[in-house]
Structure 1
Amino acid sequence: MSPTRFASEHRWLYIGAIVLLVALVVVGIIRYEKVRTNNKATEKAEQLADAAEAAGYPRPDVGTIKRTLGDDGGQVCEKPGSSLKSALWKMNISNGATGPGMRPVIGDTETIRAEAKILEIYCPDKLDEIEDKIADLKTENTVRR
């Protein structure tokens, strides 16, 4: 049996091996990207948890931070200086009541800096969008740690 005849009779074997090799390369690349993204998300979540702990708060769960913010900051980094985000952010610094009982309060300095810390870690290029809004707020050390 000549080598060319053997190759032509088993062409499907060569094609199958090539297809399998290409499929394994594609799966490997996809898995590598996922692991790299996952490692980046874990690293940033650890950094944020360390920052919260350094500010005097209990250490938050790194897994929860990772799932919520991912590796890019999620919703926090999406147009942080927009009017809607600013309004929602200021509403969350109220007295906790709803409806007519809701009143603005003097927020805790460290608590208000928390979002800035998230922006600093996850999307530092957008930190400038909110720094001036933070500077305009009246804050005090109102939370006991």
Structure 2
Amino acid sequence: MSTDLVRSHRRLRIVTYALLGLLLVIGVGWGLFAFHQQHESRDASAKADRLIAAAHDAGIPTPLSKAQVVRLFGTDGGVVCQDPGSALSTARAYQGLSNGAAGPGQRGVIGDADLVVAERLVIRTYCPEEADAFERAVDDLRLGDTANP
């Protein structure tokens, strides 16, 4: 009878230690994840502050709140910094600088210079290594002061 009791106590200890070890691993993993998220949040917040200040200094209105800028660009600039000088990015920019018609009625227009300035500020803040490719992509655009009332 005492051997059955010793075996059940031993089994209980093994299960208890295994569960405690598992809980410890989960707790450490969650702590590391939370620390990483907090660090990214601080970095994204600092970059958003820099972008908003740069836009204000350039005279560009910033309709987005700081929280929206953080969610939109994060720490890496999001879609803006994904190869801004590529053919696809250039085509999207050209499409945005059109009259809005579809098919044969679509025509290019003189775009507002503030659009390029705003994207330039985002690239300089979030992915400065892509600034040269962006400048080459927008070099030949005809821009003017078209959006100001």
Query: Deviation string for 1:27-49 (max 9, x for gaps)?
Result: 10011011111222222222222
Alpha-carbon distance between aligned partners in 2 of 1:12 and 1:84, rounded to the nearest angstrom? 57
TM-superposed deviation, 1:144: 2.0
What is the correspondence of 1:66-85 to structure 2 with a 5 Å cutoff? 66-85=70-89
Matched, 1:98 2:102: yes
**What amino acid maps onto 2:137 in structure 1?**
K
Say what the alpha-carbon RMSD is for the aligned residues.
2.4
Structure 1's unaligned 5+ residue stretches are none
Matched, 1:57 2:72: no
Query: Deviation string for 1:78-130 (max 9, x for gaps)?
Result: 12111111011111012333333322122222221221211111111111111
Number of equivalences: 139
Tell me which moved more, 30-39 or 104-113: 104-113
What is the aligned partner in structure 2 of residue 29 from structure 1? 32
Question: Match for 2:47 among 44, 47, 62?
Answer: 44
What is the aligned partner in structure 1 of residue 3 from structure 2? none
What is the aligned partner in structure 1 of residue 113 from structure 2? 109
Runs of at least 4 residues off by over 3 Å = 8-19, 96-101
TM-superposed deviation, 1:12: 4.8
Contact kept? 1:72, 1:122, Cα under 8 Å: yes
Tell me which moved more, 33-42 or 52-61: 52-61
Tell me which moved more, 79-88 or 132-141: 132-141
- Give the structure-2-normalised TM-score: 0.77
Tell me which moved more, 50-59 or 85-94: 50-59
Alpha-carbon distance between aligned partners in 2 of 1:96 and 1:25, rounded to the nearest angstrom? 53
TM-superposed deviation, 1:72: 0.9
Alpha-carbon distance between aligned partners in 2 of 1:84 and 1:76, rounded to the nearest angstrom? 12
Alpha-carbon distance between aligned partners in 1 of 2:38 and 2:129, rounded to the nearest angstrom? 25
Alpha-carbon distance between aligned partners in 1 of 2:20 and 2:77, rounded to the nearest angstrom? 42
